[in-house]
């Protein structure tokens, strides 16, 4: 089995969980790419979100560090070979992509035939009752906690706006299909506060 190549990872992932995933994937896949979108500086405005490759320490703890080849690039123009990966994952990065369609096309380009993609993103619950509870929690308790912990609510409100602007799940499925993925589907988690999108390269 070839080297485990990890393109990037969400910095929010718990170390223990990331280590377990890496151990599992290192046995199941030839190559896995994990895409993340760190904060974009004003100078980067208008460019696709930068993908950071920040999983080296977690890979070492998982015992696969020697098989890791970190890299860094722009999600709209990945510096990776065509068909190089058996799987692509992303957690809470899609909202930061500028030109999401181009990002999906790049993911499709670097994914080998039969390769799978799994994308997790924060979303607003579609059920009216759950959505009411979501708004009460995020705009009330969440805002208060952000102020108490951070002393400011600006970044937290930016997060909420980015979630509010994110397209419905059906729209993301359309974008994935347009990028060349097959059997795109989604699953709402925790009542819809997060959504998992999955598909594969034909």
Domains of the chain: 15-123+166-200 (3.40.50.150), 125-163 (no CATH)
Could you tell me the pLDDT band of residue 22, with boundaries at 50, 70 and 90?
very low
Bridge pairing between strands 182-189 and 194-200:
antiparallel
pLDDT digits (tens, 9 = 90+) for 40-81: 333 443 333 333 344 555 556 666 666 666 666 778 888 888
Crossing angle (nearest 10°) for helices 169-178 and 100-110 = 50
Provide the whole-model pTM.
0.74
32-65 in b/e form (b: 16+ CB < 10 A) is bbbbbbeebeeeeeeebbbbbbbbeebbeebebe
- Tell me: the pLDDT tens digits for 120-157? 999 999 999 999 999 999 999 999 998 999 899 998 99
């Amino acid at each position: 089995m070839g080297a485990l190549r990890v393109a990037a990872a969400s910095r929010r992932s718990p170390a223990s969980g990331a280590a377990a995933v890496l151990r599992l994937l290192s046995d199941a896949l030839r190559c896995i790419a994990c895409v993340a979108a760190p904060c974009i500086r004003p100078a980067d405005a208008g460019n696709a979100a930068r993908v950071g490759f920040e999983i080296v320490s977690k890979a070492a703890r998982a015992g696969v560090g020697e098989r890791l080849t970190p890299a860094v690039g722009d999600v709209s123009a990945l510096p990776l070979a065509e068909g190089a990966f058996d799987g692509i994952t992303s957690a809470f990065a899609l909202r930061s992509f500028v030109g999401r369609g181009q990002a999906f096309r790049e993911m499709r380009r670097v994914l080998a035939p039969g390769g799978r993609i799994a994308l997790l993103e924060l979303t607003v619950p579609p059920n009216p009752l759950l959505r009411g509870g979501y708004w009460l929690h995020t705009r009330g308790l969440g805002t208060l906690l952000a102020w108490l912990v951070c002393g400011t609510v600006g970044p937290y409100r930016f997060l909420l706006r980015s979630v509010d602007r994110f397209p419905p799940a059906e729209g993301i499925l359309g974008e994935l299909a347009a990028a060349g993925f097959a059997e795109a589907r989604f699953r709402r988690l925790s009542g819809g506060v997060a959504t998992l999108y999955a598909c594969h390269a034909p």
